[in-house]
Amino acid sequence: MVDIHLFGYVVDSTLLFQIVMPILAFLGLVIAYKNYRKKPVTPPVSTHAPTTTFKDCIFYIQSMDPKELGKESVINKISDCLTKNASEFTGTTIKDAKFELNEDKLKLIDSVGNKVKEYEKTSGKSIKDANILRALGNEAYYLGKPEDAFKYFTEALKIDEELKDIRGKAIDFNNIASVYQDWGKSEKALEYYNTSLIIFNELKDVRNADIVKGNIEFLRKSLKN
């Protein structure tokens, strides 16, 4: 033991060591923490490939397990894929459409449809996404399968009603009207068209309102012939 003279006092060196060392250790931790906080934070790099380009979407959907459709995140990815790569299939059905059915887009929707059927068969559950159902319905409609189209469109309408999606309901009413028109149920078709048009006008959705007006005009012309 060595006595140390400090500020006129005699201090036991062992006692001084026991007091000073914890203080120095604490100060060291404080300095280290401050230096750590000053370091720039590098955001983590995502290991997931983007799934919105056509090529990525096809690969993602074809390689996925149908059971994954029970996850909301997966449903959202697929819905986003359809919106960005086949938007004409997720919206309002156009009577007397002049566009050609793109093979790549049909391939994308077919891939989704196959996974949906597998999921529904194995799980006994239905897909709860109106956007996906509308895409499947429009594909069926344009390929001349009104029964399948009607099934998908009515399921989409039910979901949009549950979610109180006003714009979605307007699209669904128009699409269902198109099937009724093909079945020769003109009064029912006109009723649904008018409901759709009223909603689009209230939403000030000029583009879709014009599509519905065109469908109504096409219906009226067909009745005169």
User: pLDDT digit string (tens) for 77-129?
Assistant: 999 999 999 999 999 999 876 667 889 999 999 999 999 999 999 999 999 99
Which residue from 6, 8, 115 is spatially nearest to 71, judged by alpha carbons? 115
Give Cα separations from 59 to 5, 86, 106, 118, 181 (angstroms): 79, 16, 15, 17, 37
Within 10 Å of residue 187's Cβ, how many Cβ atoms? 8
What amino acid is encoded at 2 in this protein?
V
Q: What is the pLDDT of residue 100?
A: 73
Q: What is the pLDDT of residue 46?
A: 38
Q: What is the pLDDT of residue 214?
A: 96
Q: For CA atoms 29, 31, 34, 36, give the dihedral sign.
A: negative
Q: What is the pLDDT of residue 6?
A: 47
List the end-to-end C-alpha distance of the chain, in Å, as a whole number. 117
Q: What is the pLDDT of residue 41?
A: 46
CATH topology of domain 54-224: 1.25.40
- Which residue positions in the chain have pLDDT lower than 70? 1-51, 97-99
Q: What is the pLDDT of residue 187?
A: 96
CB 93 within 8 A of CB 104: no
Q: How long, in residues, is the chain?
A: 225
Q: Could you identify the residue written with the tokens 């048009």?
A: 197
β-strands 3-6, 9-12 pairing:
antiparallel
Start-end of CATH 1.25.40.10 domains in the chain: 54-224
CB 87 within 8 A of CB 105: no
Q: What is the pLDDT of residue 98?
A: 66
